[in-house]
Amino acid sequence: MANSNKNNKTGESIKKAYDFVVVATGIYIDPFIPEYPAKEDFKGQVLHSSEYKSPSMITNSNVLVVGFGKSSLDIAGEAAKFAKKVHLVYRRTHWPIPFNIFNIIDVRRIFLTRAANAFLPPYQKSSKGIQNGADT
């Protein structure tokens, strides 16, 4: 797939080719905002993630993001850069990939082992270096 644009500074035409196109409509295409007590007393802005378009909507605001899905985490991360304060509330965290593959293999048995941890970067690095097996 190809895309043609113009460079804003030079006006020259730019052509870009892509191997893939991602269509990310999500599984919750019908926005849902639940009812809550004293909703009519709240004077701030209430948005569904589908209505969030740019950081200018939240710049220098106090922001509360509800949920732990991909959209809410994306918005909370961006809000942290532009909003005055950001709070993320959720009922519970979730594992973003299936626990079982074909109901045969439990991925926790693969990824949550000492052998798998050997391939991951360490969480902490010692302030002392180790060279040739001896502490320095």
132 pLDDT more than 50: no
Q: What is d(CA 83, CA 63) in angstroms, rounded to the nearest whole number? A: 7
Q: Is residue 115 part of a domain?
A: yes
Structure token pair of residue 22: 């991602």
Residue 49 per-residue DSSP state: G
Q: How far apart are the first and last CA of the chain?
A: 54
Residues 11-48 have pLDDT tens digits of 888 887 777 666 665 565 678 888 888 888 888 899 98
CATH number for the domain harbouring residue 117? 3.50.50
Domain that holds residue 99: 13-122
Nearest CA to 69 out of 55, 44, 54, 88 is that of 88
Number of domains in the chain: 1
Residues 111-125 have pLDDT tens digits of 666 666 666 666 554
Q: Is residue 54 part of a domain?
A: yes
Residues 58-115 have pLDDT tens digits of 999 999 999 888 888 899 999 999 999 999 998 887 766 666 767 777 776 666 666 6
pLDDT band at 5 (very low <50, low <70, confident <90, very high): confident
| Partner residues linked to 85 by β-bridges | 62
Number of residues that make up the chain: 136
pTM for this model (two decimals):
0.52
Q: What is d(CA 85, CA 63) in angstroms, rounded to the nearest whole number? A: 6
